[in-house]
Amino acid sequence: MEELLLKIKYSMTLDEIGEGFKLFQKKYQFKKSLVFTLVYLIALGLGIDFLIRDHTGIYGYILVGLSLGMIFYTWYKPVLIRKKLIATISSLAEETYTAEFYRDRIQITTVIEEPVIAENETETEEETDSPAKDEPHEEEEQEEVVTNLYFGSDYLDAMENEQMFLLFVNRQNIYIFSKKCLSEEEQNKLREIFTEKSIL
């Protein structure tokens, strides 16, 4: 039987998701943005040089305009992606998570709670003395999605700040463990596991 090192149950707010994704972008996309910005600045310099040599030439204006536009897009795109992510998540059903930490892997279970409208079998629209009985009511239907992350085979990296632990997977996905959902003992154990696996 596998040894369970730690089991935690947690959830995330939209603000925590936004902050976590911002840190994810900073860690993996910031350098790329700097490189692209440097290239566009070189192009901008060339465009300005063209204008100095011949202010009537259209190519200088085109190069300057394109360079400034691409610099703006390079730094605004991450903000736009975060806004779209938050908008998408806010429209989805409520989710809670359970993370189980073993020696060789992390098993994360996502519990999706979707409200289901149960309609009364009576289809008549006639009023009765107790109309509440004929009104639709909501029941919660749960769906579980299980994900396994393996130490050694998946590329895992982690970081910690005052509000959360962040787990980055294959430089593409992010898992956020909010400290407000964890006891001091659970935080210490999680920190110990990440440090032992050399990912924190």
Q: Where are the domains of the chain?
A: 4-118+136-196
Of 142, 185, 200, 196, which Cα lies nearest the Cα of 7? 185
Indicate whether 157 pLDDT > 70: yes
Within 54-199, where are the H helices? 58-90, 184-196
Answer for the pair 200, 160: CB distance below 8 angstroms, yes or no: yes
pLDDT at residue 142 in the model: 64
Task: For residues 27-51, give the mean pLDDT.
Answer: 90
pLDDT at residue 114 in the model: 59
Indicate whether 99 pLDDT > 70: yes
Indicate whether 96 pLDDT > 90: no
Q: What is the rounded CA–CA span in Å between residue 33 and residue 68?
A: 14
pTM: 0.67
Task: For residues 162-181, give the mean pLDDT.
Answer: 89
Secondary structure element (H or E) that encloses residue 142, with its range: strand 137-150
Of 115, 35, 46, 37, which Cα lies nearest the Cα of 69? 37
